[in-house]
Structure 1
Amino acid sequence: MSVGTSASPTPRVAVVIPAYNEQETVGNVVRAALTLTPEVVVASDGSADATAQVARTAGAKVVELLENAGKGPALAAALQATDAEYVVMLDADLQGLTREHLDVLLRPVLDGSLDMTIGVFAGGSFASDFGNKMTPQLSGQRACRRDWLLGVPRLATERWPEPAITSHLKATDARWAYVELPQLAQVLKETKRGFWSGLGARSKMYGHLLTFWVRKRRGE
């Protein structure tokens, strides 16, 4: 053994996945995440389908919220279910996820060059790419330190937490960047729920997101 040298401990990484009625896709997302780390936590956000069972069978630790409270509360619940130093956040409706995508997200955070990465689709599908590139700040594919994410104000109360995370990035002068995730796509709400129902859900989501700053100033 060389004097004065020691191996650096391997940092613990967990993958956290908020999920609401995603039984068709969550299993594949979990299995891909397990190629990175054995710590994969799915928070089933009051799902009415077999999301929790499918995720558990695929190998994830599952936290079940009794009611559909939103992505923020589900994300917070998943974070509380692990004490890993670093986390990779993923949506449960991804298609084509690979270990390479996870490495692209995580590597700049582990090596200390960034505090957060935000994944942007590239070449997965036209509809997914277009929506993701029009509003990349709303991407659910991210990596960062767990303690930083837990420090985001309103994280556990916002139905859609991405604006709160963006606000905290600015407030903490965090170093962040978009990273491309090639050949990765997301199932559209209109596909999962039917066109009109999906369009209505999308409209509600954007309405909630667009009013974040107004609600924040009002202290709501």
Structure 2
Amino acid sequence: MPKNIKVIIPAYNEEASIGKVIAEIPDIVSEIIVVNNNSTDTTAIVAKEAGATVLFEPNPGYGNACLKGMKYISEEKIKPEIVVFLDGDYSDYPSELTKIIAPILEDNIDFVVGARVKHLRENGSMTFPQRFGNGLATKLMALFFNSKFTDLGPFRAIKYEKLLALNMEDKTYGWTVEMQLKALKKKYTYAEVPVKYKNRIGVSKVSGTIKGAIFAGVKILSWIFKYSFKK
């Protein structure tokens, strides 16, 4: 078992859910990092009281929050072996973190994505825009890159050194697909692990609005087409 696993949780106005997420993360994790992405509620207070390290990222955007967490880790003396990304809305089952990291520990896989497969999803937990966007994106990735990914699930784990080598840059909704595309380009070994998925607490900032869903879709497709024509 690795001695150092860090979890990064981007969070924007998740005061009702963040404590539940933190409480269910397995004890094998050495540090839980919640990045408060300019929340206007008590997300930061709840996260700190639950035992997380809380960072503040004033610039809105899922990618900005993830990059803030990575910057914090890069400044620590002892670097983790594995970094796990997890949403703060309680739609995932944090206890399944052990399943997510298992292929890395047991088979030396570089990168693992939790796949929100239909038979493990609670009814209504993924909106039509989410399902459509995931399906289109993964089909295009298969077409252009011979990818085997079936989902862009946010619950994921990656070896820290491999994460650094990706030079992640997307600041908003393209973060997940950027990671997968760059992993494919670098020929990382990867796997998907089926995970359970339930209705989130609160309203989604992406799929919960037409504007958010369209913007996320555009970002995802722009990354795919950018990399499909990039040598």
TM-score, length basis structure 1 = 0.80
Structure 2 counterpart of 1:6 = none
Structure 1 counterpart of 2:65 = 74
- Number of paired residues? 205
- Asked if structure 2 preserves the Cα contact closer than 8 Å seen for 1:43 and 1:75, the reply is yes
Match runs of 1:1-220 below 5 Å: 10-33=2-25, 35-68=27-60, 70-82=61-73, 83-95=79-91, 97-99=93-95, 101-122=96-117, 123-128=120-125, 135=134, 136-153=150-167, 155-160=168-173, 161-182=175-196, 184-187=197-200, 192=203, 198-214=209-225
Of 172-181 and 202-211, the range deviating more from structure 2: 202-211
**Structure 1 segments (4+ residues) deviating >4 Å:** 129-134, 193-197, 214-219
- Asked if structure 2 preserves the Cα contact closer than 8 Å seen for 1:11 and 1:86, the reply is no
Structure 1 residue matching 2:115: 3-state secondary structure: strand
- Asked if structure 1 preserves the Cα contact closer than 8 Å seen for 2:181 and 2:224, the reply is no
Unmatched segments (≥5 aa) in structure 2: 74-78, 135-149
Structure that is richer in strand per residue: 1
Provide the C-alpha distance between the structure 2 equivalents of 1:71 and 1:58, rounded to a whole number of angstroms: 22
Structure 2 counterpart of 1:5 = none
Describe the shift of the 1:192–1:208 C-alpha distance in structure 2 as closer, same or farther (beyond 3 A): same
- Asked if structure 1 preserves the Cα contact closer than 8 Å seen for 2:207 and 2:213, the reply is no
The structural deviation recorded for 1:169 is 1.2
Question: How high is the sequence identity, in percent, across the aligned residues?
Answer: 21
CA RMSD of aligned residues (A): 2.9
Higher RCO (Cα < 8 Å, 6 or more apart): 2
Describe the shift of the 1:195–1:142 C-alpha distance in structure 2 as closer, same or farther (beyond 3 A): closer
Provide the C-alpha distance between the structure 2 equivalents of 1:163 and 1:115, rounded to a whole number of angstroms: 16
Could you report, residue by residue, the CA deviation over 1:31-61 in whole angstroms, capped at 9, with x for unpaired residues?
1125332400011112222211111111100
Unmatched segments (≥5 aa) in structure 1: 1-8
